[in-house]
Amino acid sequence: MQHDDFKFEPIRGLPEALPRDEVILWQGRPMARRLAVEAFKVRWIMGYFVALAAWRAIVSTAEVPLGTALLYGSPFVLLGLIVCAILYGLAWIQSRATVYTLTNKRVAMRIGAALTMTLNLPYVEIESADLDLRPAGSGTLAFQLPADTRLSYLMSWPHIRPGRINRTQPALRCIADAAKVADIFTDAARTRISQPTITRATADLSAMAAE
């Protein structure tokens, strides 16, 4: 039996229905493999265990033949593979639980595998955006928010720009066709910001009556 934990969403990735004047321009999620590499650092971790295996083998050559020494180091490689498999599984879970949305008015991010939350970032409140583009076309699009806007680094991880702890920058992390998504964001943000804000003045009835 299949169970959809997000069946309550009126629109996939969004906690409520869109207003009539708001439309979805793009939706996506992190690439699990890239998220495992960039956020969970599986390559570095595997390299660490390989280094341990090499060190154990080199030390053992003083007492046993090279073939046996290599066997002494092999448990570290096996342990590294297990750890990396677990981390890749966590990256896959994060990817499946995440939906990034660009509309004509905002960036919406449904994030969190265990504790789900949705970040709504109106274009008018985004100061700037930065694209970290990878050679294969994937990348991370990060958003600079006003200084008085505070986001929890731990609650938002890994959907943040790496290394920005003091001023957390939410990010569309490890997305495919990142340059295309950045173009969609740029066009939508420019259009939204250029729209004039119209306010309706309310007449002071008491003042009018006095006149």
Q: Which domains does the chain have, with CATH numbers?
A: 24-31+99-193 (2.30.29.30), 36-94 (no CATH)
44's CB contacts (< 8 A; 6+ apart) are none
Going by the DSSP 8-state scheme, the letter that residue 202 receives in this structure is P
Give the pLDDT score at 210.
47
**Residue 7: pLDDT over 80:** no
User: How far is Cα 26 from Cα 194, in angstroms, rounded to an integer?
Assistant: 21
Which residues does residue 132 pair with via DSSP β-bridges, in sequence order? Answer: 140
* Contact assessment for residue 149 and residue 125, using Cβ atoms and an 8 Å cutoff: yes
pLDDT tens-digit map of 40-55:
999 999 999 999 999 9
Rg (CA), the chain: 24
Which of 71-85, 169-183, 197-211 is predicted least confidently? 197-211
pLDDT tens-digit map of 146-179:
988 888 888 899 999 988 788 899 999 999 999 9
* Contact assessment for residue 28 and residue 175, using Cβ atoms and an 8 Å cutoff: yes
User: How far is Cα 170 from Cα 98, in angstroms, rounded to an integer?
Assistant: 13
Mean pLDDT of 171-200: 88
- Residue 52 to residues 7, 76, 77, Cα–Cα distance (Å): 46, 7, 8
Residue found by looking up tokens 């069946």 in the block: 7
Which of 57-61, 116-120, 206-210 is predicted least confidently? 206-210
Give the pLDDT score at 23.
95
Give the pLDDT score at 34.
96
Residue 47, CB half-sphere, CA atoms under 13 Å: how many? 5
| pTM of this structure | 0.83
Give the pLDDT score at 204.
47
At residue 135, what is the residue type?
P
CA 122 centroid distance within chain: 17
* Contact assessment for residue 32 and residue 97, using Cβ atoms and an 8 Å cutoff: no
Q: Cis ω on the peptide bond leading into residue 196 (within 30° of 0)?
A: no
**Residue 84: pLDDT over 90:** yes
Give the pLDDT score at 162.
87
151's CB contacts (< 8 A; 6+ apart) are 119, 145, 160, 168, 170
Give the pLDDT score at 148.
86
CA 126 centroid distance within chain: 16
β strands within the chain, DSSP E: 24-28, 99-103, 106-111, 117-122, 128-133, 139-144, 171-175
Mean pLDDT of 23-38: 96
- Residue 54 to residues 42, 117, 159, Cα–Cα distance (Å): 18, 43, 35
Give the pLDDT score at 199.
57
Give the pLDDT score at 208.
41
Confidence of residue 198 (pLDDT cuts 50, 70, 90): low
